[in-house]
Structure 1
Amino acid sequence: MSGPERAGASHAGRSRAADLVRQCVVAVSAVVAVVGAFVGSGAAGGTRIQDAAGGALAADATPIAPAGPAFAIWTLIYFGLLVYAVWQFLPAQRAADRQRRLAYPVAASLLLNAAWILSVQAGLLWLSVAVIAVLLAVLCWAYWTCVRHPPHHLADALITDGTIGLYLGWVSIATAANVAAALAASGFDGAGIPAEVWAIVVIAVATIAVAALGVASRGGLAPMLAASWGLAWIAVGRLTGEPHSVPVAIAAIVGIVVIVASTLTARVIAARTRRLGPVRD
């Protein structure tokens, strides 16, 4: 074997080893996240997330806390993450450039999710805010990687983009709720501004961010669906539970309309551009 051939074989061997390590890191991170979620749910006999930290994250703790059923979306997200962990382990994905780019951001998000649960269980609400902020940034990175390097077939789109998109959309709303919970638990009184006004402002900021994501991703559906789900349950919580607030519920509903309209409009424009080509003067 000539020198260049030996070098090529050595590089291929290192690549295969690095890819296997990458796949194992994602798989182990997925297991850690799911075990953390199992413990955080109280299924193992521990304190449930909504009861931890003095109930700061309960459905009635703040005006932008989603009603309890909203958190059922985690079942779908965790299922998607486990499927993704298996999917990226398949031989066809081992050397895929897309998976090489996504693996470590996804693994980081899984470990950050477990860290968030631990911080809440420990009653460290401001630490949980820092963790979820980093988690949100990592998920933005991962989802933007999906947008820049689109899938070549439907299975990859559903398993990879769909899961990461749902994860990002939900965490976008959860971050807002987490910040509000930490502020309320710290005794923040609104600086003279009513809690309803603060809630509406926070919902508006989250709405703008998710709507911008929908436009930037040329109509990515998964973040839209998850964020709309979260906002819908904020509206339900404010209309049927405590603290009761019709204005906050209306703000959440308007947020859904803006996010859905922005995302679907971007999707239609992107589809038209692909079909007809860019409009020229």
Structure 2
Amino acid sequence: MSLPTSADRVRQVAVTLSEVFCVIGTLFGVGVLGTRVQESSGGALAADATLLAPAGPAFSIWSLIYLGLAAYTVWQWLPRNATGERFRRTGWLAAVSMVLNAGWLLVTQVGWIWVSVIVIIALLVSLGELVRRLTSRPASGTAERLIVDGTFGAYLGWVSVATCANITAALVASGVTPSRSISVLWSVVVLVVVAAVGVVLAWTFRGRVAVAAAMAWGLAWITVGRLTDQPRSAATALVAALVAVVIIAATIREKLRHRARLAR
């Protein structure tokens, strides 16, 4: 095992500082230091703000993601991981994702809803590249698979759904209020796009279960929200549920195909 270089140490410190910043941003987002996300930006990001807003319990997935990020921050300091190729290829992207996450929480505090859209798109792109790099080199064991691949897979899956909800919230907050039928049609079109994204992610990342599970989680809570809370829409709820099934099915299919190729 080679000794860590100065570049390795700088990366490890950067990840750790980014995690601290992420925690600070989270304290604002949950209302400890600032305003809860649901109540920030004039309520544009509340669970009942748009047809594509997931119901409140959906956001509990952040507890899992934040726990995973904390575990990743500790894990990357282990001697065998300091010089690991996967950590060298993904460490800076992990740091960027944590900074962007905190940044998103902070800009929503001041009501910059369209800036939050830019930030979350940047977060989505960084996570997509990070998971792509993880896919190119398999994990060294079960622990790494859970802490690294599981965390960032779930992170990417959730942010994929959240990005669509964020853009919709920004449009509504900006005064884009079409008729009821057009709003429902828009929600269905966006959900079809989410389905396409989910299928592409399944194909590109060889059927990563964490990505699909997080996307399905978000979509399931959109279904619940549209059936039990305002604005109600059975059509949006049905399509969200169907999209979740499509993404899970596509992911399982790609997972099995990848395993079959490895077994040859």
Please give the range of the TM-score, normalised by the shorter of the 2 chains: over 0.9
Match of 2:105 among 113, 117, 120: 117
CA distance in 2, matches of 1:271, 1:252: 29
Equivalent position SS for 1:111: helix
Deviations 1:45-103 (A, max 9, x none): x2111000110000000000000000000000000000000000111111111100000
Equivalent residue, structure 1, for 2:8? 19
Task: Note if contact 2:28-2:106 (Cα within 8 Å) is conserved in structure 1.
Answer: no
Larger deviation: 148-157 or 242-251? 148-157
Give unmatched runs, 5+ long, in structure 1: 1-11
Q: Please, which of 100, 119, 142 is the counterpart of residue 130 of structure 2? A: 142
User: What's the C-alpha RMSD, in Å, of the aligned pairs?
Assistant: 1.4
Q: 1:162: Cα distance to partner? A: 0.5
**1:227 is matched by which residue type in structure 2?**
M
Q: 1:201 matched to which residue of 2?
A: 189
Match of 1:7 in 2: none
Query: Which amino acid is 1:28 matched to?
Result: L
Residue correspondences, number: 263
Structure 1 contact 172–227 (Cα < 8 Å) conserved = yes
Partner residue in 1 for 2:261: 273
**Alpha-carbon shift at residue 191 of structure 1 (Å):** 8.4
Q: Does 1:67 align with 2:55?
A: yes
Specify which of 20, 43, 64 is matched with residue 76 of structure 1: 64
The equivalent of 1:6 in structure 2 is: none
Q: Does structure 2 conserve the Cα–Cα contact (< 8 Å) formed by 1:25 and 1:107?
A: yes
Decide which of 191, 207, 212 is 1:224's aligned counterpart.
212
Give the aligned partner of residue 36 of structure 1.
25
Query: Structure 1 pair 191/236, CA: closer, same or farther in 2 (3 Å)?
Result: closer
Report if aligned partners of 1:190, 1:198 keep a CA contact under 8 Å in 2.
Answer: no
Distance 1:258 1:40 in 2: 32
Query: 2:183 matched to 1:181?
Result: no
Percent of counterpart pairs with the same letter?
45
- SS of corresponding position for 2:51: coil
User: Secondary structure at the residue paired with 2:5?
Assistant: helix
149, 156, 159: which one aligns with 1:171: 159
Give per-residue Cα distances to partners, 1:140-199, cap 9 Å, x unaligned.
000000101111211111111100000000000000000000000001134896101101
Q: Distance in 2 between matches of 1:29 and 1:198?
A: 36
Inter-partner Cα distance in structure 2 for 1:39 and 1:102: 27
Hey, what's the Cα distance between the residues in 2 that align with 1:89 and 1:207?
A: 37
The one-letter code of the counterpart of 1:31 is V
SS across alignment from 2:77: coil
Partner residue, 2:119: 131
Please give the per-residue CA displacement for 1:217-250, whole angstroms capped at 9, x wherever unaligned: 1111100010000000000000001000000000
Tell me the distance in 2 between the aligned counterparts of 1:190 and 1:226.
Answer: 30
Q: TM-score, normalised by structure 2?
A: 0.97
Question: Is 1:54 equivalent to 2:55 in the alignment?
Answer: no
Aligned pair 1:213/2:201, yes or no?
A: yes
Partner of residue 8, structure 1: none
Separation (CA, whole Å) in 2 of partners of 1:259 and 1:88: 31
Question: Partners of 1:58 and 1:274 in 2: how far apart?
Answer: 45
Inter-partner Cα distance in structure 2 for 1:19 and 1:261: 39
Distance 2:31 2:95 in 1: 24
**Structure 1 residue 256 corresponds to structure 2 residue 209:** no
Taking the aligned partners of 2:26 and 2:39, their CA distance within structure 1 comes to 14
| AA of the residue aligned to 2:16 | A
Matched to 2:87, the amino acid is Q
Deviates more, 1:124-133 or 1:205-214: 205-214
- Which letter maps to 1:219? G
Aligned equivalents of 2:183, 2:104: Cα separation in 1: 25
